[in-house]
Amino acid sequence: MDKTTQVVDLEKVVIKFAGDSGDGMQLTGTQFTDTSALLGNDLATFPDYPAEIRAPQGTVAGVSGFQIHIGRIDINTPGDIADVLVAMNPAALKANKNWIKKGGTIIVNIDTFTKRDLEKAGYETSPLEDNSFEGYNIIQAPITKLTREALKDSGLDGKSIGRSKNMFALGIVYWMFNRPMKQTEKFLEKKFAKKPEVVAANIKVMHAGYNFADTIEALPSSYTVLSANLAPGTYRNVMGNQAIAWGFLAAAERSNKELFLGSYPITPASDILHELAKHKNLGVKTFQAEDEIAGICSAIGASFTGSLAITTTSGPGLALKGEGLGLAIMAELPLVVVNVQRGGPSTGLPTKTEQSDLMQALYGRNGESPSVVLASSTPGNCFDWAYMASKITLEHNTPVVLLSDGYLGNGAEPWKIKSTKDMPEINPSIAVEGEEYQPYARDEKTLARKIALPGTKGLEHRLGGLEKEDVTGNVSYDPDNHEKMVGIRAEKIKRIADVIPDQQVFGKEEGDLLVIGWGGTHGSLYSAVDNLLADGEEIALCQFNYINPLPNNIETLLSKYKKIVVCELNSGQFANYLRMNFQGTIFNQYNKIQGFPFTSSELESHFKTLLAK
Amino acid sequence: MEHLTNKDFTSDQEVKWCPGCGDYAILRAMQKALPNLERKKEDFVFISGIGCSSRFPYYMNTYGFHTIHGRAPAFATGVKLANPNLSVWQITGDGDALAIGGNHFIHALRRNIDINILLFNNEIYGLTKGQFSPTSKKGIKTKSNPHGTTDEPFSPSDLAIGAQGSFFARVVDTNPKLMQQIFVEAESHRGTSLIEILQNCVIFNDKTFAPITAKEVKKDAQIVLEQGKPMLFGAEMNKGIVLNGFKLEVVTVGENGITEKDILVHDAKEQDPTLHAMLARMRPPEFPAALGIIRAVDRPTFDEGLLAQLEYEKENAKFNTVDELLQSGDTWEI
């Protein structure tokens, strides 16, 4: 298609699609993401959807959004605020009014700005007719009407026609950013392979949107975001939950283990179960259990029998799994528990992100029951941390809790495809037939015991949750033995610090301010620190992935900065953990508990204040 | 295969149940039954939850795992799925299986995963010292309800049948021969085999099953059901069970024109569970308690289903390495 308008190059742009939860905004956003990725943009995405499957139509509570940040340059966050907002109804406009850049472009479906829909959104008068959006570039597109018009001869019923209007919006945005529609056409052909009339209708509507944008004069120019300068290689898009699933598959293959997942559906972790359930061809056994407890317990049973066993959940599920996790710690069996964190406490904010399960992961069990705790920090590195969690658990025969969060789990980014042979070796610690076996004899260096698998001749033994006698593993109520075993279980975790790499920083090796983060806040912290480094500030970012044990060089590292600020999406759990471990060091805090990630700009301005003092 | 004896299955751990506990007889029966299965010792796994009965695995010289309260079916499921070649036995009690573990219990039966569940039913909590359990008779006075319970008890057989259990047998701890025989048959059944063992707790609920097991009454108070055989019992073997309308009834052969031909013939393999449920509910004094295999029907198992899917997917998939998966779908070069 010929472009009739001037094309402007952009470094980066943030686009948000917002509409009713039934408007197909997640699909629209995903399509725009995939097309942009194939054009070589760097990107990051952030889906933001309500907990209710279908909240009342037209209300602010029912607004579903998908934000995408694409760029020619390094993109680390889905962007603080949008340059372009697509609002499919008044509620979508209202829900996002503070998240659109002053003077940005807003595409509204003007057909929904009726008295009734305005009222549902809580507007007395149309915000487009007062001064609410003065200075913005508002494009009033009759999306509903034009979609109906385009499909009037399609033979589709009114409901199906109504469902295609997201494609009109996508067409407009494709035109704005000079993107080809081929990718989405291919996607539609595959998705609706059995319904050619639906494929044709959606494609027709998308083209109608594209042509509408090309025709109207309200759009002064279209924009291009060129390919990013990423390291050479083969890339694909991955979402965090998908990458976690793949990391486990890779670890199972490298360790010659069968992968077993025992899990119970829970937002936002279910996609890991969905992803693994697809890959029975790779030998993975997935078991959708009757509850969270059966999820972890079946995994422990599989681990006892020799699988690489995992269970996946979110905060409330981790609470239910506490007793099972304690047993795995006592029985010293390999197990990875993935917690894709969400807003808490209780049911909390199921579809929003938070980092408030750190203490639960570290201490949320009866007795003194230390667990390894790791945290992934980008959608792509969820692959690596699932792999590392598997390696540690299989080599040290102790459970690992891997913390991700809703933001990472549902977020996508281009990922340079790894090869399993580039991943480190995994050497599970297993006793073999013929060897002298004492269930609780230990490796001198790591203190890991060896496990013996049912079916191995001559190594029959009993495990359990009652305190174990040192070396033999028999039940023991001896007071001195108990104290010794509590000490051994703690020391075993501590010694893992000797086999993990030193903590690295991004930025200055020493200086005025050390920004500390952990897990999923990496993108926004990195962007903020990167900007301040460009301004010449003596600043660095220290993003933790190893939470327990901490790497061995932290004390030295902390001493090299005049000020330290710990930023996290909770009230200060990691800051308190560091205070406990490094008494005497002053840790400032920057916290946010709104169910949303940090924005780089709020971080940057806070760091500037700290640097100025 | 080397021939094993009961000694091979006896661990070196001191057995710590109360003297006179019914659990001793069950343990001995198991140790004697296993050699008859002609399987390797290392292929047996005993999984238990929490309670007196759940100490059982420590006394068996096999692979064993004493897990957490109520969750043993989930552990056993993981074990079986991870290695379907193993013979998996779950040891549980009425509190462990039917109170805290009720959920896992019914779901194991529903899935029909190929494990054997030994339910030691003593109608009381032993390890926590004498509180009523979900199978305690209504009105029983215990420490946790000194004025008598107002709880309606569960019937394990009805729960099992309601959950589509494919195998239900009942034995008493006073009949070691029958226990051995049923343990062997349970293992050869494909699917979840539930064996309810009426087990006496000498300390907290002594003689609760005496109306069934006491020497002086047992011949009239028990009927051992056998496949294809008429349901006869009693000291003279002249009492029988008939179906009268919608109800079971005890009759005497030779009285009122009743002949052996009128007596119900046991069919544990009948898919319709109605009669199985009625038989399992029989209790003295009106009826004898039914022992033996009450229900054993053929039904697909969860583990076989999963394995079949795995095999199919492995053979029919476009790829079978992780690297191929990572490279699949839309990719681009930079």
Cβ–Cβ gap A455/B11 under 8 Å:
no
User: Chain-centre distance of CA B116, in angstroms?
Assistant: 7
Which residues are CB-contacts of B206 (< 8 A; sequence separation ≥ 6)?
B200
Fold of B6-208: Rossmann fold (3.40.50)
Nearest-Cα distance to chain B for A241, in Å, is 14
Q: What is the pLDDT of residue B89?
A: 98
Residue A507: CB atoms within 10 A of its CB come to 19
The yes-or-no answer to whether A237-422 and A506-612 have a common fold is yes
Chain A hits for B64, CB-CB cut-off 8 Å, are 460-464
The model's confidence at residue A411, banded by pLDDT at 50, 70 and 90, is: very high
Residue B331 in contact with partner chain A when CB distance is under 8 A: yes
Name residues 416-455 of chain A within 8 A of B (Cβ). 417-421, 453-455
Q: Which strand (E) or helix (H) includes residue A591?
A: strand A588-591
Q: What is the pLDDT of residue A608?
A: 98
Question: Does the structure show a pLDDT above 90 at A19?
Answer: yes
Q: What is the pLDDT of residue A524?
A: 94
Chain A hits for B320, CB-CB cut-off 8 Å, are 281-282
Residue B57 in contact with partner chain A when CB distance is under 8 A: yes
User: Chain-centre distance of CA A316, in angstroms?
Assistant: 17
The model's confidence at residue A613, banded by pLDDT at 50, 70 and 90, is: confident
- The answer to whether A293 and B74 are in contact (CB under 8 A) is yes
Question: Does the structure show a pLDDT above 90 at A56?
Answer: no
Nearest-Cα distance to chain A for B269, in Å, is 28
Average pLDDT for residues A123-145, to the nearest whole number?
Answer: 92
Mutate to test the interface with B, among A237, A238, A281, A430 (most CBs of B within 10 A): A281
Average pLDDT for residues A9-26, to the nearest whole number?
Answer: 90
Here the tokens at position A596 are 């949303």
Task: Give percent of chain A with pLDDT exceeding 90.
Answer: 86
- The closest alpha carbon to A411, from A203, A596, A234, A140, belongs to A596
Among B64, B325, B333, beta carbon nearest to A279: B325
Among A301, A417, A458, beta carbon nearest to B78: A301
The model's confidence at residue A39, banded by pLDDT at 50, 70 and 90, is: confident
Model pLDDT for residues A98-110, shown as the tens digit of each residue = 999 988 999 999 9
pTM of the predicted model over 0.95: no
The model's confidence at residue A220, banded by pLDDT at 50, 70 and 90, is: low
Chain B hits for A301, CB-CB cut-off 8 Å, are 47, 65, 74-82
Mutate to test the interface with A, among B83, B301, B312, B320 (most CBs of A within 10 A): B83
Which residues are CB-contacts of B20 (< 8 A; sequence separation ≥ 6)?
B202
Label each residue of B163-178 as H, E or C.
CCCCEEEEEECCCHHH
Chain A hits for B68, CB-CB cut-off 8 Å, are 297, 323-324, 327, 465
CB pairs under 8 A between A and B: 206
Cβ–Cβ gap B322/A474 under 8 Å:
no
Name residues 233-252 of chain B within 8 A of A (Cβ). none
Chain B hits for A246, CB-CB cut-off 8 Å, are 322, 325-326
- What ipTM was reported for this prediction? 0.98
Question: Does the structure show a pLDDT above 90 at A51?
Answer: no
Cβ–Cβ gap B334/A232 under 8 Å:
yes
Q: What is the pLDDT of residue A214?
A: 87
Residue B330 in contact with partner chain A when CB distance is under 8 A: yes
CATH 3.40.50.970 is the classification of domain A237-422: yes
Cβ–Cβ gap A294/B103 under 8 Å:
yes
Q: Tell me the one-letter amino acid at A18.
A: A
Average pLDDT for residues A160-186, to the nearest whole number?
Answer: 93
Angle (deg, nearest 10), helices B302-316 and B72-82: 40
The single-letter DSSP state of residue A569 is S
Chain A hits for B47, CB-CB cut-off 8 Å, are 301
Residue B58 in contact with partner chain A when CB distance is under 8 A: yes
Cβ–Cβ gap A463/B86 under 8 Å:
no
Say how far apart CA A392 and CA A549 lie, in whole Å.
12
Say how far apart CA A575 and CA B157 lie, in whole Å.
55
C-alpha dist (Å) from residue A19 to A127, A128, A132, A146, A507: 16, 17, 19, 17, 40
Model pLDDT for residues B98-111, shown as the tens digit of each residue = 999 999 999 999 99
Q: What is the pLDDT of residue B104?
A: 98
Nearest-Cα distance to chain B for A255, in Å, is 13
Question: Does the structure show a pLDDT above 90 at B334?
Answer: no
Just give the CATH number of A6-225: 3.40.920.10
Just give the CATH number of A506-612: 3.40.50.920
- The answer to whether A308 and A252 are in contact (CB under 8 A) is yes
Model pLDDT for residues B120-161, shown as the tens digit of each residue = 999 999 999 999 999 999 999 999 999 999 999 999 999 999
Cβ–Cβ gap A301/B42 under 8 Å:
no
Model pLDDT for residues B46-68, shown as the tens digit of each residue = 999 999 999 999 999 999 999 99
Mutate to test the interface with B, among A290, A292, A453 (most CBs of B within 10 A): A290
Question: Does the structure show a pLDDT above 70 at B12?
Answer: yes
Question: Does the structure show a pLDDT above 70 at B96?
Answer: yes
Strand A137-141 and strand A63-71: the pairing is: unpaired
Residue A456 in contact with partner chain B when CB distance is under 8 A: yes
Residue B317: CB atoms within 10 A of its CB come to 14
Helix extents (H) in A280-381: 292-304, 315-331, 358-363
Cβ–Cβ gap B66/A462 under 8 Å:
yes
- The answer to whether A89 and A111 are in contact (CB under 8 A) is no
Q: What is the pLDDT of residue A224?
A: 77
The model's confidence at residue A6, banded by pLDDT at 50, 70 and 90, is: low
Question: Does the structure show a pLDDT above 80 at A5?
Answer: no
The whole-chain average pLDDT of chain B stands at: 97
The model's confidence at residue A3, banded by pLDDT at 50, 70 and 90, is: very low
Q: Where are the domains of chain A?
A: 6-225, 237-422, 429-499, 506-612
Chain A hits for B75, CB-CB cut-off 8 Å, are 297-298, 300-301, 304
Say how far apart CA A246 and CA A417 lie, in whole Å.
11
Residue B11 in contact with partner chain A when CB distance is under 8 A: yes
Cβ–Cβ gap A246/B325 under 8 Å:
yes
Q: Where are the domains of chain B?
A: 6-208
Residue B14 in contact with partner chain A when CB distance is under 8 A: no
Say how far apart CA A561 and CA A582 lie, in whole Å.
14
Angle, vertex CA A221, rays to CA A220 and CA A225, nearest 5: 150
Question: Does the structure show a pLDDT above 80 at A2?
Answer: no
- Cis ω for the linkage preceding A549 (within 30 of 0): yes
Say how far apart CA A262 and CA A243 lie, in whole Å.
18
Residue A234 in contact with partner chain B when CB distance is under 8 A: yes
Model pLDDT for residues A310-324, shown as the tens digit of each residue = 999 999 999 999 999
Cβ–Cβ gap A235/B333 under 8 Å:
yes
C-alpha dist (Å) from residue A145 to A109, A164, A208, B286: 9, 12, 12, 77
Question: Does the structure show a pLDDT above 90 at A8?
Answer: no
Model pLDDT for residues A264-315, shown as the tens digit of each residue = 999 999 999 999 999 999 999 999 999 999 999 999 999 999 999 999 999 9
Question: Does the structure show a pLDDT above 80 at A9?
Answer: no
Residue A464 in contact with partner chain B when CB distance is under 8 A: yes
Model pLDDT for residues A508-539, shown as the tens digit of each residue = 999 999 999 999 999 999 999 999 999 999 99
Cβ–Cβ gap B65/A474 under 8 Å:
no
Residue B75 in contact with partner chain A when CB distance is under 8 A: yes
Here the tokens at position A117 are 């829909």
Model pLDDT for residues B276-288, shown as the tens digit of each residue = 999 999 999 999 9
Residue of B nearest to A473 (CA): B58
Using DSSP, state whether A408 is helix, strand or coil: helix
Q: Which of A43-57, A76-90, A407-421, A454-468 has the lowest mean pLDDT?
A: A43-57
- The closest alpha carbon to A392, from A438, A425, A440, A355, belongs to A425
Cβ–Cβ gap A249/B325 under 8 Å:
yes
Question: Does the structure show a pLDDT above 80 at A566?
Answer: yes
Residue A458 in contact with partner chain B when CB distance is under 8 A: yes
Residue of A nearest to B102 (CA): A290
Model pLDDT for residues B240-299, shown as the tens digit of each residue = 999 999 999 999 999 999 999 999 999 999 999 999 999 999 999 999 999 999 999 999
The whole-chain average pLDDT of chain A stands at: 94
Residue whose structure tokens are 């460009």? A534
Name residues 79-118 of chain B within 8 A of A (Cβ). 79-83, 85-86, 103-104, 107
Q: What is the pLDDT of residue A1?
A: 41
Which residues are CB-contacts of A293 (< 8 A; sequence separation ≥ 6)?
A320, A321, A323, A324, B71, B74, B104
Say how far apart CA A185 and CA B35 lie, in whole Å.
65
